[in-house]
Each structure stands twice: as structure tokens, then as C-alpha cells.
């Protein structure tokens, strides 16, 4: 089963209007790097609309870094899936470990965000991943299974036909210490096997991204693994040349 690679840039809380414009312009001028891969950028909410204008009909997709589980109403500070769609997004990240840890988003809320995202026709990128403590305590697979099944049990497997999963070991995010290609493959294969128990066809087609200190120097080796279908890139997505090299490694 050949899956089209996807490289997503999670800008987190970085950038200014001027920096974003320069970064997007450079990505638009480097399109040959990702002719055979899908590319997605996730700027902060306030910059999404302008990013959409800059990207116009270019083959770079736009996504939210998170989304509200509710659809409308008195939820000060929140942004709904329909708003993301309205400004040109096709994707939303749900369950990023920073949201789970810093903003106390639990598995049940992540599942609701996944559902809210799909209800607007957007593709959720469901992040799962273990902490260093959990890995060292041999609990990696338990944690990944819990995070995955918390969503699967709510949505059913059919919902994963239009979803992306991202394996992001918490200890590798922003630390410069990436998982080895073998460590990534081991967990990606586990995720696919869990999905396979419910539907073999969907399991074979769902894209599973690796995230956590991906850079140009390690992307090719990690992306070469059988169950790694691209990357969710934080820090390295803020530098156009670095991000384009990562895209080229996936393509």
C-alpha cells in the first residue's frame, strides 16, 4: 500500500506577519522539493487568514494547531472548526502533547476535538506519544493504545479513513533528541496494528507521521521506515531551507 507522504509544519507560537510572509514565499518558491508529497503549515490562529491569502491556490495546505470541541457560543478565546474551515484550513492538529500537558486536555476532550474537526470536513491530525518516564517504565505501548482507543471508541474505525495520526514522543519534542528510525517504526507499526484489528483497509491507508526533533539531517532515515508516512515538524518548520529539505526527504 503506497501512502502519499505528508509533511506538516507546526509553527507553534512563533512568527510575525513579516516573518510568515517571508517563510511562505520561500516555501512557494521551493515547490519542486515537494512535488510528490503533501505539505501543510499550521501558523498561529491570528495569522491563518493572511497565510491563506498568500498561499492562494498553491499546493500547500493550511491547518489549525488546535481547535475547540464546541461548535459555537460562549467559549471565550476559543476557535471552532467551522471558523478554521471558513479561513481556508483543511486540517487541525488535535491532542498535541503541549495541549495535553500545559492546558490539561484529556483523552475525552481530544476525542471531542477530533469529532468537531471532522464534522466540518477537516482532517484531524491526532497526536499520541509517551513521556520519558512512561518509556523508561515500559509503558509506551499502553499509553499509545490508551490515547488511540480513547478516540477510536468514540468515533469508530471508519473515521480514521479521513484522519492522520502523528506519533510524537514527548521526550523528543523540541529537545533535539529524536527517536531513532527503529524506535519510530516500532511504535508506528504498533499503531497500524491497533487500527488493523478494527479494519485492515483503513489501517493500511492511514498516514502516520513522526514528530519530535525532525530535521533535514535525520528526516530521510526516519521517513524511509515502512510505517512512517511523513513528519510533524516544529522548530525546523520555521526555517524555509530546512523545512524544504525535510519535504524533499519525504517526497
The residue ranges that bind ligand PGA (CB under 6 A) are 10, 168, 173-174, 211-214, 232-236
Q: How far is the CB of 148 from ligand PGA (least distance, A)?
A: 17
Is-contact 103 95, C-beta < 8 A?
A: no
Active-site choice (98, 105, 130, 168): 168
Name which of 124 and 211 has its Cβ closer to ligand PGA.
211
Round the CA-based radius of gyration of the chain to a whole number and report it: 17
Half-sphere exposure of 155 (CA within 13 A, CB side): 28
Residue with cell 509533511: 7
- Would residue 196 show up in a list of annotated catalytic residues for this protein? no
Q: How far is the CB of 250 from ligand PGA (least distance, A)?
A: 14
Name which of 166 and 225 has its Cβ closer to ligand PGA.
166
Q: Distance between CA 181 and CA 104 in Å, rounded?
A: 30
Q: How far is the CB of 12 from ligand PGA (least distance, A)?
A: 7
Q: How far is the CB of 73 from ligand PGA (least distance, A)?
A: 29
DSSP for 20-40 reads HHHHHHHHHTTGGGGTTSEEE
Is-contact 210 231, C-beta < 8 A?
A: yes
Q: Distance between CA 18 and CA 159 in Å, rounded?
A: 38
Name which of 35 and 132 has its Cβ closer to ligand PGA.
132
Name which of 65 and 185 has its Cβ closer to ligand PGA.
65
- Would residue 168 show up in a list of annotated catalytic residues for this protein? yes
Catalytic residues: 96, 168
Amino acid at each position: 500500500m503506497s501512502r502519499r507522504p505528508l509533511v506538516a509544519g507546526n509553527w507553534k507560537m512563533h512568527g510575525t506577519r513579516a516573518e510568515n510572509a517571508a517563510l511562505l514565499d520561500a516555501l512557494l518558491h521551493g515547490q519542486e522539493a515537494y512535488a510528490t508529497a503533501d505539505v501543510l503549515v499550521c501558523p498561529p490562529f491570528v495569522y491563518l487568514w493572511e497565510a491563506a491569502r498568500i498561499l492562494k491556490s498553491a499546493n500547500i495546505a493550511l491547518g489549525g494547531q488546535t481547535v475547540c470541541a464546541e461548535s459555537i457560543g460562549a467559549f471565550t478565546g476559543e476557535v471552532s472548526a467551522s471558523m478554521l474551515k471558513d479561513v481556508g484550513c483543511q486540517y487541525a492538529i488535535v491532542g498535541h502533547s503541549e495541549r495535553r500537558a500545559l492546558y490539561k486536555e484529556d483523552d475525552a476532550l481530544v476525542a471531542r476535538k477530533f469529532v468537531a474537526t471532522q464534522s466540518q470536513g477537516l482532517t484531524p491530525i491526532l497526536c499520541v506519544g509517551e513521556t520519558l518516564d512512561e518509556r523508561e517504565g515500559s509503558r509506551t505501548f499502553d499509553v499509545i493504545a490508551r490515547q488511540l482507543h480513547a478516540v477510536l471508541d468514540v468515533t469508530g474505525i471508519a473515521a480514521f479513513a479521513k484522519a492522520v495520526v502523528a506519533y510524537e514522543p514527548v521526550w523528543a519534542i523540541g529537545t533535539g533528541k529524536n527517536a531513532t528510525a527503529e524506535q519510530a517504526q516500532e511504535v508506528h507499526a504498533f499503531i497500524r496494528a491497533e487500527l488493523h484489528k478494527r479494519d485492515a483497509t483503513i489501517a493500511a491507508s492511514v498516514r502516520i507521521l513522526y514528530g519530535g526533533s525532525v530535521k533535514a539531517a535525520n528526516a530521510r532515515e526516519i521517513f524511509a521506515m515502512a510505517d512512517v508516512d511523513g513528519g510533524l515538524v516544529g522548530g525546523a518548520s520555521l526555517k524555509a531551507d530546512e523545512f524544504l529539505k525535510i519535504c524533499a526527504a519525504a517526497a
